[in-house]
Amino acid sequence: MINKVLIVALALGAGTGWAATDVRQTDITADTTWGLGGSPYYVYGDIAIKNGATLTVNAGVEVRFVEIHGDGGYEDGAELVVRSGALVAEGTHAMPVLFTTANQFKQPGVWGAIIVEYGNQYILTDAVIEYARNGLRLYNTTAGGASNSSVDGTEIRYCGSNGVFAFNSTANFYHLTVTQNTYAGIKTGGSANISVHASDIVDNGMYNFSNGAPNNVDASDCWWGTTSPSLIDLKIYDHLDNPAVGLVDYTPFLNSSWRDGGNIPTYSLGLVKSVFR
């Protein structure tokens, strides 16, 4: 049994035939599945996955975070924290898993983040994360945890700060889309060690990638919204802007979205991004 949990089935959702579910709890301490029969799930406050438990979110499920403030934690707003366990959200292209705000009028930053700590596992396949403060926040995640985790076919958008914020963390991203986030698509800090491939990093506010870590980033084979190296550079913060941080190596790059089968332009194969101006 899950400790400290109150799950209350509400009236059937209009036109869906499914019951909405309120989730009021502090911890998930046993394996739990959120399925279509209970969707959408309304999350009140911060949820921590602990004691080796796995939260599985099935394809087509919507998780809606109710707006709260002054709750503490990493962010101001409701959070889902993988503290000692695993989050497995496996959607499909036709039926993605959706993490979003419960507000009728949606705006960036009205809930906190999905947070993964230390060596814990996270699998986000064909998921959408939107309107959070930081969509996916990684804190001290390890190489071992990264090897057991994956982000594939997932889109993170409309966040009030960053799509992904990785602090002191190791992560490998593939088929990720980060777009229209207020500050950066991907931001790193501390001693983060990140790679990202075959992904779309486009149309974010200040930067598409902001590297605040000393390590270089392998971000090759990605789509940056343009095939102009000078324009790609304008939306990247790295060693060329601050010699104390690492380089974001985006070459070679795609000529269109990975979702559209973007190819590597022949001329980009010969580009070498220098660590010097």
- What mean pLDDT is predicted for residues 58-71? 94
The per-residue DSSP string of 110-136 comes to SB-EEEEETT-EEEEESEEEESBSEEE
The rounded mean pLDDT for the chain is 91
Q: What is the pLDDT of residues 198-223, one digit of tens each?
A: 999 999 999 999 999 999 999 999 99
Domain 5-270: give its CATH architecture: 3 Solenoid (2.160)
Among the ranges given (11-20, 45-54, 120-129, 147-156), the one the predictor scored with the smallest mean pLDDT: 11-20
- What mean pLDDT is predicted for residues 192-199? 97
pLDDT band at 265 (very low <50, low <70, confident <90, very high): confident
Q: Tokens for 24?
A: 């009021």
Among the ranges given (6-10, 34-38, 169-173), the one the predictor scored with the smallest mean pLDDT: 6-10
Q: What is the pLDDT of residues 232-257, one digit of tens each?
A: 999 999 999 999 999 999 999 999 99
Dihedral in degrees, nearest 10, Cα atoms 145, 147, 153, 158: 30
Cis link prior to 243 (omega < 30° from 0)? no
pLDDT number for residue 7: 37
Q: What is the pLDDT of residues 133-186, one digit of tens each?
A: 999 999 999 999 999 999 999 999 999 999 999 999 999 999 999 999 999 999
**Number of Cβ atoms within 10 Å of the Cβ of 267:** 11
Is the per-residue pLDDT at 14 higher than 60?
no
Query: Per mean pLDDT, which of 7-11, 229-233, 273-277 is the most reliable?
Result: 229-233
pLDDT number for residue 268: 78
Q: Give the Cα separation of 255 and 277 in Å (integer).
A: 25
Is the per-residue pLDDT at 271 higher than 90?
no
Is the per-residue pLDDT at 35 higher than 60?
yes
CA–CA–CA angle 98, 104, 110 (5° rounding): 70
CB-count exposure of residue 198 (10 Å: 0-12, 13-18, 19+) = middle
- What mean pLDDT is predicted for residues 2-11? 36
pLDDT number for residue 264: 84
Is the per-residue pLDDT at 273 higher than 70?
no
Percent of the chain with pLDDT over 70: 91
CB 130 within 8 A of CB 163: no
Answering whether pTM is above 0.95, one says: no
